[in-house]
Each structure stands twice: as structure tokens, then as C-alpha cells.
């Protein structure tokens, strides 16, 4: 089975990990800061590394002090970590619809959903395509609320010439193996506000404070560290930062390969009347994490099953989150988001990863033929 996503690990990645394993540090050593500095160069704002994309979102919400009574506005087309990490702080999750073509959060719907309790707008860069960040930024600024970006899909993507990570107040990345670069499990938080990044960092490192100038308890020895707010252990170990550093140095190549896969699909589907290809705004340059096509809803399941039978490990991204039982038990289906539900009903994620280029070039036509014949 050719999976819908797969990591790209080369000999340099392996050598980097082996070197780290032979060093004095397995957990927090010099490679953590090195990786974070290298990330900053790509995403355009200071970063901290964490143990997953879920952890990154949890830290982002901790940084803005999310709590009971706060509302966040989110899109339904995402992985549930976008909402789960906020719900665990006691925040109320507000859903709004997505744009019908990109499946990214619709700024007009966001505007309409703002209340005095809204603490943040949370955009998700679906498939790697940045959300409408300028419009969302303007709404957030007008209402004095935060813009959080779930960029689990989009490290390295560019929005109007600016890298994802340098626009929202806080941005969360994932380095899961199917993503654009991997540290096995891993993630990062970037922020354009040093104070928010420090809060995210403390939360990810057990809340520990080691700077004597900030101590409340005085007169302890040089061993002393203290905690003013609870945190968790979301550290990314040195060994995985070694992998991340090596992967980051190849991000350009990874983008080139993902672009090529995208172009091969576009060629393969040329002239197709039943397949809708991913929309691309003129002002973005995404690194594609997914290749989400849309087909007529009455043929989606048949095509999906046929593709899997033929060995193409397709996926559907995503079952709209507002329909998950964890939300439905409260709302009992009194919320309808037509664009999100239509998108879900039509979507199939075709295989998208750099190694596809090592297969026979006919693979893309073969996938297109399975879909055409159904």
C-alpha cells in the first residue's frame, strides 16, 4: 500500500541522530537551542521546540492565558487537537464555517461570531495552504483579541511573501512523520511577542523558573528553582532536535519534491470534469502537506474503496470536528456548517510525499485512471 503521507529520511538524517546519540546529551542539550534558532530562520519569529503539534497548541493556549469563560473561534475542517487543547483549559469552542474551496476558516464568518468573550481566532492552514491571515489579523486587532495559527500542515509555507509563523500572535507547528518535516513526534511554537513565547516555554518545561531575579522564595542556594504557574513536560529531546536540524536543512528540497508531486497530479487530472483540484490563492506559496481532491459526493466512497483496493492508501481529511460526539453531546446537531460538511463529503487525500517521485512516473496517471473509471 502506498500511504497518503510518509516521512523522508536520508543518510544525513540518520548520521545526525547517531552523532546525537553518541553525545553527552539525550534530552535537553545544545541541539535544542540550535534547532530553535534554525527554525526561527525559516518561520521568521523566535521559536521553542516541543514534543508534538498537540503540545504546541496546548502551549499556545497557555501563553494567551486561555481559561473558563473564554471563547475561541475555530474551523471544523481540522484535526481535533486544534480544539481539544483549548477545551482542556475550560474554554468554549465556537465553530464557524470554512471557505468552500480552500477549507480554511472564513473571515466573514469569524467576524459574525465575535462576542465579548472571544479570546482568540484560531486559523488552520489546511493541507499547507495558509489561511487568510491579513483579514484574520485585521479582525483580531480590531477586537483586541489573539490570532492563533495551527500551522501543523504548513511549516515553510509563504503568505504574501511572509513565512507562516511570523504573522499570527502565536503559531503552532507539528513534526509528525507525514508532515512537511519530521522529528518523529515533535512540534514547535513561534511567536512575534517575546512575553507570549516565554509563557509557552515555561508551560512546556514544567513551569520551572531558574532566574533568581524572579524568585519569590528568597535565600535558597544555587540549586533553587521555583514554579509560579503549573506546566507540563513537553520538551523535545536533543536526539530529535538533531533530526529536525538535518530535516530543516533539506526543507527546500522537500518543497521542490512536494511541488513536483503537485504538478504531476495537475497534469494527470487535466481535463477531468469530476475532480476538483486544491484551490491555490495567487498570493500564497504553500508546501503541500496533503493533496486534497474533491469528487462528487455520491461517488466518493466508491472511489476511496477502489483506490485502497488498488494499493493507494488514500485518506479523508477531515470528518468535521463539530460532528464529533464529544461536541455533539452538547449541541445535539444544532449547528450546521454547509461548506465544511460539503467539503468533507467530497474530499479524498491522495498520496502526497517526496518519495512518490521514486516510483514509476505513471503512478499519477494510474491514480487518475482509477478515479475516472469509477
Ligand X SMILES: Cc1ncc(COP(=O)(O)O)c(C=O)c1O
CB of 82 or CB of 246, closer to ligand X: 82
> Which candidate in 41, 160, 179, 369 is catalytic?
179
Residues in binding contact with ligand X, number by CB under 6 A: 14
Residue 136-155 contact track with ligand X, rule CB under 6 A, x = bound:
--------------x-xx--
- Taking the complex as a whole, how short is the minimal distance between the CB of residue 54 and ligand X, in angstroms? 3
CB of 54 or CB of 204, closer to ligand X: 54
User: Contact 203/197 with Cβ under 8 angstroms?
Assistant: no
CB of 176 or CB of 262, closer to ligand X: 176
CB of 81 or CB of 114, closer to ligand X: 81
Residue 157 lies near ligand X (rule: CB under 6 A): no
Grouping H, G, I as helix, E, B as strand and the rest as coil, residue 312 is strand
- CA 189 to mean position of chain CA atoms: 11
Cβ-proximal residue to ligand X, closest one: 53
User: Contact 157/164 with Cβ under 8 angstroms?
Assistant: yes
Count each helix (H run) and each strand (E run) in the chain, helices first: 13, 16
- Taking the complex as a whole, how short is the minimal distance between the CB of residue 282 and ligand X, in angstroms? 24
Residue 176 lies near ligand X (rule: CB under 6 A): yes
Looking at residues 109 to 128 of the shown chain, list those that interact with ligand X (rule: CB under 6 A): 124
Active-site residue 255, yes or no? Answer: no
Residue 45-84 contact track with ligand X, rule CB under 6 A, x = bound:
-------xxx-----------------------xx-xx--
Residue written as grid cell 509563523: 165
Instruction: Give the Cα separation of 124 and 128 in Å (integer).
Output: 9
Residue 102 lies near ligand X (rule: CB under 6 A): no
Grouping H, G, I as helix, E, B as strand and the rest as coil, residue 222 is coil
Residue 3-32 contact track with ligand X, rule CB under 6 A, x = bound:
------------------------------
- Taking the complex as a whole, how short is the minimal distance between the CB of residue 96 and ligand X, in angstroms? 16
Compute how many other C-beta atoms are within 10 angstroms of the C-beta atom of residue 344.
22
CB of 91 or CB of 268, closer to ligand X: 91
Query: In Å, what is the CA distance from 111 to each residue of 106, 118, 331, 362?
Result: 9, 11, 21, 46
Question: Strand ranges (DSSP E) for the chain?
Answer: 2-3, 47-50, 71-74, 92-95, 118-124, 146-150, 158-159, 162-163, 170-174, 187-191, 208-209, 226-227, 284-285, 291-294, 312-313, 347-350
User: Contact 197/63 with Cβ under 8 angstroms?
Assistant: yes
The binding site for ligand X (CB under 6 A) comprises 52-54, 78-79, 81-82, 124, 150, 152-153, 174, 176, 187
Q: Which residues are catalytic?
A: 179
Amino acid at each position: 500500500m502506498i500511504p497518503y503521507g510518509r516521512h523522508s529520511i536520508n543518510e544525513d538524517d540518520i548520521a545526525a541522530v547517531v552523532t546525537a546519540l553518541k553525545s553527552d546529551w539525550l534530552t535537553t542539550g545544545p541541539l535544542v537551542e540550535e534547532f530553535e534558532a534554525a527554525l526561527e530562520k525559516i518561520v521568521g519569529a523566535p521559536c521553542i521546540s516541543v514534543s508534538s503539534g498537540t503540545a504546541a497548541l496546548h502551549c499556545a493556549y497557555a501563553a494567551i492565558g486561555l481559561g473558563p469563560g473564554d471563547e475561541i473561534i475555530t474551523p471544523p475542517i481540522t484535526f481535533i487537537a486544534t480544539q481539544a487543547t483549548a477545551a482542556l483549559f475550560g474554554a468554549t469552542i465556537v465553530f464557524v464555517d470554512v471557505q468552500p474551496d480552500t477549507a480554511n476558516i472564513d473571515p466573514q464568518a469569524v467576524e459574525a461570531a465575535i462576542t465579548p468573550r472571544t479570546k482568540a481566532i484560531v486559523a488552520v492552514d489546511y493541507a499547507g495552504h495558509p489561511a487568510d491571515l491579513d483579514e484574520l489579523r485585521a479582525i483580531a486587532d480590531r477586537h483586541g483579541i489573539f490570532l492563533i495559527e495551527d500551522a501543523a500542515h504548513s511549516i515553510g509555507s509563504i503568505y504574501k511573501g511572509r513565512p507562516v509563523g511570523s504573522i499570527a500572535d502565536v503559531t503552532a507547528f507539528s513534526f509528525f512523520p507525514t508532515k512537511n518535516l519530521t522529528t518523529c513526534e515533535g512540534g514547535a511554537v513561534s511567536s512575534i511577542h517575546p512575553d507570549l513565547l516565554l509563557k509557552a516555554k515555561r508551560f512546556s518545561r514544567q513551569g520551572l523558573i531558574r532566574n533568581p531575579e524572579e524568585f519569590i522564595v528568597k535565600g535558597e542556594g544555587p540549586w533553587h528553582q521555583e514554579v509560579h504557574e503549573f506546566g507540563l513536560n513537553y520538551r523535545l529531546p536533543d536526539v530529535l532536535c538533531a533530526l529536525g536540524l538535518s530535516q530543516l536543512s533539506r526543507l527546500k528540497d522537500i518543497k521542490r519534491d512536494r511541488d513536483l508531486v503537485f504538478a504531476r497530479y495537475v497534469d494527470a487530472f487535466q481535463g477531468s470534469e469530476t475532480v476538483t483540484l486544491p484551490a491555490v490563492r495567487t498570493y500564497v506559496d504553500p508546501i503541500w502537506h496533503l493533496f486534497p481532491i474533491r469528487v462528487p459526493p455520491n461517488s466518493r466512497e466508491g472511489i476511496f474503496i477502489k483506490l485502497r483496493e488498488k494499493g493507494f492508501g488514500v485518506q479523508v481529511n477531515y470528518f468535521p470536528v463539530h460532528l464529533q460526539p464529544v461536541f455533539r453531546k452538547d449541541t445535539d446537531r444544532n449547528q450546521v456548517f454547509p461548506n465544511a460538511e460539503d467539503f468533507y463529503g467530497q474530499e479524498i487525500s491522495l498520496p502526497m510525499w517526496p518519495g512518490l517521485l521514486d516510483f514509476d512516473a505513471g503512478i499519477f496517471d494510474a491514480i487518475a485512471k482509477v478515479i475516472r473509471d469509477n
